[in-house]
Amino acid sequence: MRHALLTANDSEDIVQQLQEQGFACVPAAQLAALAGVPLAQLRALEPTWNDLPRDQYLLDGGKYRARRHGSFIQNCAAGTLEPVKHRAHWQPTSYNALHGGIERWFEPLAPHVSADAAWQKLLLTLGEIFALRRDEKQWFIEAHQFRIDTAQGVGRPTPEGAHRDGVHFVAVILVQRGDMRGGESRVFEADGPNGVRFTLSEPWTVVLLDDARVIHETTPILPGATAGVRDTLVLTYRAGGFQDPV
Protein backbone atom coordinates (compact mmCIF):
# COMPACT_ATOMS: atom_id res chain seq x y z
CA MET A 1 0.00 0.00 0.00
CA ARG A 2 1.29 3.44 -0.88
CA HIS A 3 1.74 5.92 1.92
CA ALA A 4 0.85 8.95 -0.21
CA LEU A 5 -2.74 9.58 -1.21
CA LEU A 6 -3.10 9.43 -4.98
CA THR A 7 -6.09 10.49 -7.04
CA ALA A 8 -7.51 8.47 -9.90
CA ASN A 9 -8.87 10.24 -12.98
CA ASP A 10 -10.41 7.49 -15.10
CA SER A 11 -11.72 3.96 -14.83
CA GLU A 12 -8.38 2.40 -15.75
CA ASP A 13 -6.57 4.38 -13.04
CA ILE A 14 -9.19 3.44 -10.48
CA VAL A 15 -9.09 -0.27 -11.27
CA GLN A 16 -5.28 -0.24 -11.17
CA GLN A 17 -5.20 1.46 -7.79
CA LEU A 18 -7.84 -0.87 -6.37
CA GLN A 19 -5.74 -3.79 -7.57
CA GLU A 20 -2.42 -2.40 -6.29
CA GLN A 21 -3.38 -0.87 -2.97
CA GLY A 22 -6.98 -1.75 -2.22
CA PHE A 23 -8.40 1.76 -2.46
CA ALA A 24 -8.63 4.77 -4.77
CA CYS A 25 -9.58 8.41 -4.30
CA VAL A 26 -11.53 10.10 -7.10
CA PRO A 27 -11.92 13.90 -7.19
CA ALA A 28 -15.41 15.35 -7.58
CA ALA A 29 -14.98 16.59 -11.16
CA GLN A 30 -13.72 13.21 -12.32
CA LEU A 31 -16.52 11.38 -10.50
CA ALA A 32 -19.10 13.52 -12.28
CA ALA A 33 -17.36 13.01 -15.62
CA LEU A 34 -17.24 9.24 -15.16
CA ALA A 35 -20.95 9.22 -14.31
CA GLY A 36 -21.69 11.39 -17.32
CA VAL A 37 -23.53 14.07 -15.33
CA PRO A 38 -22.69 17.70 -14.53
CA LEU A 39 -21.31 18.09 -11.04
CA ALA A 40 -24.11 20.58 -10.41
CA GLN A 41 -26.65 17.77 -10.77
CA LEU A 42 -24.94 15.80 -8.01
CA ARG A 43 -24.75 18.90 -5.85
CA ALA A 44 -28.46 19.45 -6.39
CA LEU A 45 -29.00 16.38 -4.19
CA GLU A 46 -27.33 18.01 -1.19
CA PRO A 47 -30.49 19.58 0.32
CA THR A 48 -31.93 16.07 0.79
CA TRP A 49 -29.44 15.59 3.63
CA ASN A 50 -31.43 18.21 5.57
CA ASP A 51 -34.31 15.74 5.91
CA LEU A 52 -32.64 12.78 7.62
CA PRO A 53 -34.29 11.37 10.78
CA ARG A 54 -32.20 10.60 13.84
CA ASP A 55 -30.54 7.21 14.10
CA GLN A 56 -32.45 5.42 16.89
CA TYR A 57 -30.03 2.49 17.11
CA LEU A 58 -26.84 4.10 18.40
CA LEU A 59 -25.70 1.95 21.30
CA ASP A 60 -23.20 4.48 22.62
CA GLY A 61 -26.10 6.70 23.67
CA GLY A 62 -25.23 9.43 21.19
CA LYS A 63 -27.67 11.66 19.29
CA TYR A 64 -25.15 12.86 16.72
CA ARG A 65 -26.16 10.76 13.70
CA ALA A 66 -29.07 11.01 11.26
CA ARG A 67 -29.54 8.71 8.27
CA ARG A 68 -31.69 7.12 5.60
CA HIS A 69 -31.17 3.76 3.92
CA GLY A 70 -32.14 2.09 0.67
CA SER A 71 -31.29 -1.01 -1.36
CA PHE A 72 -30.88 -1.63 -5.06
CA ILE A 73 -29.94 -4.42 -7.46
CA GLN A 74 -27.70 -3.59 -10.41
CA ASN A 75 -27.66 -5.76 -13.52
CA CYS A 76 -24.26 -4.95 -14.99
CA ALA A 77 -24.91 -6.51 -18.40
CA ALA A 78 -28.22 -4.73 -18.92
CA GLY A 79 -27.09 -1.50 -17.26
CA THR A 80 -30.16 -1.37 -15.03
CA LEU A 81 -30.68 -0.35 -11.43
CA GLU A 82 -33.78 -1.55 -9.61
CA PRO A 83 -34.83 -0.44 -6.12
CA VAL A 84 -35.96 -3.26 -3.86
CA LYS A 85 -38.63 -3.30 -1.18
CA HIS A 86 -37.48 -1.48 1.93
CA ARG A 87 -35.52 -3.82 4.16
CA ALA A 88 -33.52 -3.79 7.36
CA HIS A 89 -29.82 -3.06 7.40
CA TRP A 90 -28.02 -5.96 9.06
CA GLN A 91 -24.38 -6.87 9.71
CA PRO A 92 -22.87 -9.77 11.63
CA THR A 93 -21.00 -9.00 14.83
CA SER A 94 -17.79 -10.15 13.13
CA TYR A 95 -17.93 -6.98 11.01
CA ASN A 96 -19.65 -4.60 13.40
CA ALA A 97 -18.99 -5.40 17.03
CA LEU A 98 -21.09 -2.45 18.24
CA HIS A 99 -24.23 -2.77 16.13
CA GLY A 100 -23.88 -6.20 14.55
CA GLY A 101 -26.56 -8.86 14.92
CA ILE A 102 -29.35 -6.26 14.99
CA GLU A 103 -31.95 -5.66 12.30
CA ARG A 104 -31.90 -1.88 11.99
CA TRP A 105 -34.94 -0.46 10.24
CA PHE A 106 -33.83 3.01 9.20
CA GLU A 107 -36.20 5.36 7.43
CA PRO A 108 -36.11 4.78 3.66
CA LEU A 109 -34.56 7.04 1.08
CA ALA A 110 -36.97 9.65 -0.22
CA PRO A 111 -38.57 8.40 -3.48
CA HIS A 112 -37.38 11.43 -5.43
CA VAL A 113 -33.79 10.66 -4.40
CA SER A 114 -33.92 7.03 -5.56
CA ALA A 115 -35.53 8.14 -8.83
CA ASP A 116 -33.10 10.99 -9.49
CA ALA A 117 -31.23 10.51 -12.78
CA ALA A 118 -27.86 11.71 -11.44
CA TRP A 119 -28.22 9.45 -8.39
CA GLN A 120 -28.91 6.42 -10.58
CA LYS A 121 -26.04 7.19 -12.95
CA LEU A 122 -23.68 7.54 -9.99
CA LEU A 123 -24.62 4.14 -8.52
CA LEU A 124 -24.46 2.44 -11.92
CA THR A 125 -21.08 3.96 -12.80
CA LEU A 126 -19.45 2.86 -9.57
CA GLY A 127 -20.88 -0.63 -10.02
CA GLU A 128 -19.46 -0.78 -13.54
CA ILE A 129 -16.02 0.22 -12.24
CA PHE A 130 -16.15 -2.41 -9.52
CA ALA A 131 -17.19 -4.99 -12.13
CA LEU A 132 -13.97 -4.20 -14.01
CA ARG A 133 -12.03 -5.07 -10.86
CA ARG A 134 -14.14 -8.12 -10.00
CA ASP A 135 -16.09 -9.74 -12.82
CA GLU A 136 -19.64 -9.81 -11.47
CA LYS A 137 -22.91 -9.63 -13.38
CA GLN A 138 -24.98 -8.32 -10.49
CA TRP A 139 -24.43 -6.08 -7.50
CA PHE A 140 -26.58 -5.87 -4.38
CA ILE A 141 -26.21 -2.25 -3.32
CA GLU A 142 -27.04 -0.56 -0.05
CA ALA A 143 -27.10 3.23 0.07
CA HIS A 144 -26.77 5.21 3.30
CA GLN A 145 -27.26 8.96 3.60
CA PHE A 146 -25.45 10.04 6.78
CA ARG A 147 -25.29 13.30 8.69
CA ILE A 148 -22.96 13.56 11.69
CA ASP A 149 -23.31 16.75 13.73
CA THR A 150 -21.59 18.40 16.66
CA ALA A 151 -24.64 20.05 18.21
CA GLN A 152 -24.06 18.14 21.45
CA GLY A 153 -20.28 18.01 21.25
CA VAL A 154 -18.40 15.11 19.70
CA GLY A 155 -19.82 13.37 16.63
CA ARG A 156 -18.57 9.93 15.60
CA PRO A 157 -18.75 9.00 11.90
CA THR A 158 -17.62 5.44 12.68
CA PRO A 159 -18.56 4.63 16.29
CA GLU A 160 -17.67 0.98 15.64
CA GLY A 161 -14.03 1.99 15.00
CA ALA A 162 -11.79 0.73 12.21
CA HIS A 163 -13.74 -1.94 10.37
CA ARG A 164 -14.69 -3.78 7.23
CA ASP A 165 -18.31 -3.96 6.08
CA GLY A 166 -18.64 -7.56 4.91
CA VAL A 167 -19.21 -6.60 1.27
CA HIS A 168 -16.99 -6.55 -1.80
CA PHE A 169 -16.60 -2.80 -2.37
CA VAL A 170 -17.42 0.39 -0.50
CA ALA A 171 -17.72 3.97 -1.76
CA VAL A 172 -17.52 6.79 0.79
CA ILE A 173 -18.55 10.10 -0.77
CA LEU A 174 -18.15 13.40 1.06
CA VAL A 175 -21.26 15.51 0.47
CA GLN A 176 -20.64 18.41 2.85
CA ARG A 177 -18.11 19.37 5.48
CA GLY A 178 -19.29 22.25 7.66
CA ASP A 179 -17.64 24.21 10.46
CA MET A 180 -15.88 21.45 12.38
CA ARG A 181 -12.56 19.93 13.33
CA GLY A 182 -11.47 16.32 12.87
CA GLY A 183 -13.12 13.92 10.47
CA GLU A 184 -9.85 12.45 9.22
CA SER A 185 -10.25 9.43 6.95
CA ARG A 186 -7.98 6.46 7.63
CA VAL A 187 -7.44 3.44 5.41
CA PHE A 188 -5.18 0.58 6.51
CA GLU A 189 -4.20 -2.79 5.15
CA ALA A 190 -6.40 -5.51 6.62
CA ASP A 191 -3.44 -7.87 6.97
CA GLY A 192 -0.45 -5.55 7.14
CA PRO A 193 1.02 -2.48 8.86
CA ASN A 194 0.65 0.13 6.12
CA GLY A 195 -1.99 2.79 5.77
CA VAL A 196 -2.83 6.36 4.84
CA ARG A 197 -4.54 9.27 6.56
CA PHE A 198 -6.20 12.18 4.79
CA THR A 199 -9.08 14.61 5.22
CA LEU A 200 -11.76 14.87 2.57
CA SER A 201 -12.77 18.50 2.01
CA GLU A 202 -14.19 18.87 -1.52
CA PRO A 203 -17.87 17.90 -1.84
CA TRP A 204 -18.43 14.78 -3.97
CA THR A 205 -14.92 13.47 -3.64
CA VAL A 206 -15.14 9.69 -3.24
CA VAL A 207 -12.91 7.06 -1.66
CA LEU A 208 -13.38 3.58 -3.14
CA LEU A 209 -12.42 0.60 -0.98
CA ASP A 210 -11.82 -3.09 -1.65
CA ASP A 211 -13.47 -4.32 1.54
CA ALA A 212 -11.56 -7.60 1.68
CA ARG A 213 -8.18 -5.86 1.58
CA VAL A 214 -8.51 -2.74 3.72
CA ILE A 215 -10.12 -1.53 6.90
CA HIS A 216 -11.33 2.04 7.26
CA GLU A 217 -12.55 4.57 9.78
CA THR A 218 -13.18 8.29 10.18
CA THR A 219 -12.05 10.08 13.32
CA PRO A 220 -14.55 11.94 15.53
CA ILE A 221 -15.58 15.47 14.66
CA LEU A 222 -15.63 18.44 17.02
CA PRO A 223 -17.34 21.85 16.76
CA GLY A 224 -15.51 24.70 15.11
CA ALA A 225 -16.61 28.24 15.83
CA THR A 226 -20.17 26.94 15.55
CA ALA A 227 -21.78 23.52 15.57
CA GLY A 228 -20.93 21.78 12.31
CA VAL A 229 -22.04 18.83 10.23
CA ARG A 230 -20.39 16.22 8.05
CA ASP A 231 -22.62 14.69 5.38
CA THR A 232 -21.66 11.55 3.47
CA LEU A 233 -23.14 9.04 1.09
CA VAL A 234 -21.89 5.51 1.75
CA LEU A 235 -22.57 2.87 -0.90
CA THR A 236 -21.76 -0.82 -0.48
CA TYR A 237 -21.59 -3.31 -3.35
CA ARG A 238 -21.92 -7.02 -2.64
CA ALA A 239 -22.15 -10.01 -4.98
CA GLY A 240 -24.44 -12.96 -4.35
CA GLY A 241 -27.08 -11.20 -2.25
CA PHE A 242 -27.64 -8.74 0.56
CA GLN A 243 -26.37 -9.37 4.06
CA ASP A 244 -29.31 -10.79 5.98
CA PRO A 245 -29.68 -12.66 9.28
CA VAL A 246 -29.09 -16.38 8.92
Tens-place pLDDT, residues 13-24: 999 999 999 999
Name the pLDDT band for 239 (thresholds 50, 70, 90). very high
pLDDT of residue 225: 87
**Distance set, CA 189 to CA 52, 58, 185, 246 (Å):** 33, 27, 14, 29
Q: Does the pTM exceed 0.85?
A: yes
CA distances from 53 to 37, 49, 145 (A): 28, 10, 10
| Total residue length of the chain | 246
DSSP, collapsed to helix, strand or coil, labels residue 42 as: helix
Nearest to 89 by CA among 117, 120, 56, 122: 56
Q: Describe the strand order of the beta sheet including 195-198 as a list of residue ranges.
A: 195-198, 185-189, 214-218
Separation CA 208–CA 210 (nearest Å): 7
Residue 9 has pLDDT above 70, yes or no: no
